[in-house]
A and B are shown apart, each in its own frame.
Chain A
């Protein structure tokens, strides 16, 4: 019964690798997008601040699957470009995660006490310098746990990319299942793999949090 795994191991590992690099690129892109959108909202940047709020609300109210269907089918049809399933999934994941991370960043920024900001301004720092040297270092610490929550959530959500035809871990398992039909073994193995990878990722978050934590 387990030979369906061993026989198809290279294919499954290739799928796992796709899951991993899809996640890594999304984490990089999503965190950057989230930081930009979160700061734009936090400083109430004219027009762009409102625009990012509308974007965030729209994405947060839309299911991930629908976001992927939009980036895979609707956007290319609207703007007249061609895309691959992988790139559409990556774009969708970045937009989706970025919107959630933006809210985490904003919450982190807002948790910095106003007295510190006033003190920074009073010592003659510019507003940008206060953001860079006073607010950002403190906010980063606070934001780490929620960031890693989002990363773990994203890692699980990459399975949805299989629906638009990306052969990541879930997609690979479903393809093998279509040929060999061993759903219990295959889905069980996939579930355990996600469990291990997600658990490892949240452990990284805990270690980082402990390292950056403010000791009082």
Chain B
């Protein structure tokens, strides 16, 4: 092994790395927000009593999940190029639809895990359906699915690296640029790996701050889903 380590070019390019890191966080946060909305809408549909809602939700989930994320991004960026969406929007749309399907499955199983009597009791006390979901079902489901959500969100952050292929200047993209200029291949990629590791760890710890998520015994079942 006669590779000579030289980390100084990485330090000199820290502005690029930081701006990439910031872009990764931005892409992830926006996609996260949209995929939560998609996930809750579709997941609630999938758990509902209506047959057509369940069918629609299953169709959405199966289609979105079984198409590779890379293809999602290329579809928005190349196939639907006439929409003239900026690369950032294409990355966010691709990521949100893809992850949204995963969130939907988790939400559906979470709602299913809340005992049926809870809904009946809520309706019996005079709450509307929306209020019942808002105040009774979602808080309990959220507690159960928090570990699964945490792993989905860390997945999402890592998946955002694919945005680099449609020229979104996030962490992986900047790493490629720095590598091209300095040829410090190993140092660059190890640096961004560590940065991703930190981001993912922080993000999953934040999700676990959901009240009661940590010490809810029933949540353990879903931890590896």
Which residues of A line the B interface, CB within 8 A?
A: 57-58, 60-66, 69-70, 73-75, 77-80, 103-104, 107, 146, 152, 156-157, 159-160, 162-163, 170, 174, 177, 183-184, 187-188, 190-191, 194-195, 198-199, 202
A residues in contact with B63, CB < 8 Å: 195
- Contacts of B2 on A, CB cut-off 8 Å? 80
Q: Is the CB of B189 within 8 A of A64?
A: no
Kindly provide the distance from the CB of A143 to the nearest chain B CB, expressed in whole angstroms: 10
A75 to B185, CA, bound (A): 9
Within 8 A of A (CB), among B152-167: 154, 158-162, 164-165
Main secondary structure of the interface of B (DSSP, over half): helix
Q: Which of B71, B74, B193 interacts with A62 by CB under 8 Å?
A: B193
Given contacts A73-B185, A156-B68, A194-B66, contact A79 B196 (CB under 8 A): no
Minimum C-beta distance from A197 to chain B (A): 8
Residue from B70, B164, B175 within 8 A of A170 (CB atoms)? B70
The smallest beta-carbon distance between B196 and chain A, in angstroms, is 6
On whether A194 and B78 interact (CB within 8 A), knowing A63-B161, A77-B186, the answer reads no
Cross-chain contact of A187 among B75, B179, B192 (Cβ < 8 A): B75
Q: State which of B67, B185, B201 has its C-beta within 8 Å of the C-beta of A77.
A: B185
**Is the beta-carbon distance between B79 and A187 smaller than 8 angstroms?**
yes
B-to-A contact residues, CB < 8 Å: 1-3, 62-63, 65-71, 74-75, 78-81, 154, 158-162, 164-165, 172, 175-176, 179, 185-186, 188-190, 192-193, 196-197, 200-201, 224
Give 12 pairs: A residue, B residue, CB < 8 Å, sorted on A: A61-B200, A66-B161, A74-B185, A74-B188, A74-B189, A78-B1, A156-B68, A160-B68, A160-B162, A183-B74, A183-B78, A187-B75
